Amino acid sequence: MKGYIHIYCGDGKGKTTAALGLALRASGANKKVLLTRFMKTNSSSELSSLSLQPNITVIPTSKVFGYYYSLSDEEKEHAYDYYSSLLKEACKKAIDENYDLLILDEVTYVYSYHFIDCDYLISFLHTRPEQLEVVLTGKHPAPELLDMADYISDIKKVRHPYDNGVLPREGIEL
C-alpha cells in the first residue's frame, strides 16, 4: 500500500488530536506507528494512553526550548542540534524498523524557524519507503511542505476558552 503525506495545520485546536486519531486507527489495523514530538514535553495526558498501545512507539522528548523570539543565538543553536538529532533518529527508526506510520508532531514549527535540518526533512520525504505514511503537524507549514502533501487539513479556530484567559486543562488541551 502506498504511503501518503498528511499535514494537519492551522490555528485551531485538534492538529495533534487528529494525528493521534490516525495513530489509533492504524494501530487497530495492526500497523506500526512511530511518534515524536517537537516543542512539547512528555507530560501530555495522551502519552499515558499511547503507552498502552502495543503498536505505537513514542520517542520521548528530553528537552524543550522556548519560542524562537525568546531564545539567544546560543539557545537557537542548541535547539537546532537537538531537534535535528531527534528528527534524524525518528526517520532512521521509521525506516530501519519498518514502521507504517510516522507522526512528526509540531514539526512545521521547528521547520519554519530552522530549528531542524530542513534539507534533511525534505530529502527524507522524497526518499522515504513507498509504503511509509507520514503526518506533519503545526500551525504554519512552509509552502514547500504544503506542495509535497497529499492531504492538507487546515484546522481553524473559531472560538476557544483560551481567548478568555482559560488556561489549558489536563485531559482536554494537555
What average pLDDT does this structure show over 116-125? 98
**Domain for residue 173, yes or no?**
no
Domain limits for position 145: 5-164
The predicted pLDDT at position 101 comes to: 99
Q: What's the number of domains the chain is made of? A: 1
Backbone dihedral region of 22: left (phi > 0), alpha (psi from -120 to 50 degrees) or beta? alpha
Tell me if residue 105 falls in helix, strand or coil. Answer: strand
pLDDT digits (tens, 9 = 90+) for 36-72: 999 887 777 788 888 889 999 999 998 888 888 899 9
What pTM, to 2 d.p., does this model score? 0.94
Quick one: which of 121, 113, 158 has its CA closest to 7? 121
**Domain for residue 73, yes or no?**
yes
**Domain for residue 143, yes or no?**
yes
Please give the distance of CA 167 from its chain centroid, rounded to a whole number: 22
Backbone dihedral region of 159: left (phi > 0), alpha (psi from -120 to 50 degrees) or beta? beta
For residues 144 and 135, what is the distance between their CA atoms, to the nearest angstrom? 15
**Domain for residue 23, yes or no?**
yes
Q: Kindly report the CATH number assigned to the domain that includes residue 40.
A: 3.40.50.300
pLDDT digits (tens, 9 = 90+) for 63-96: 888 888 899 999 999 999 999 999 999 999 999 9
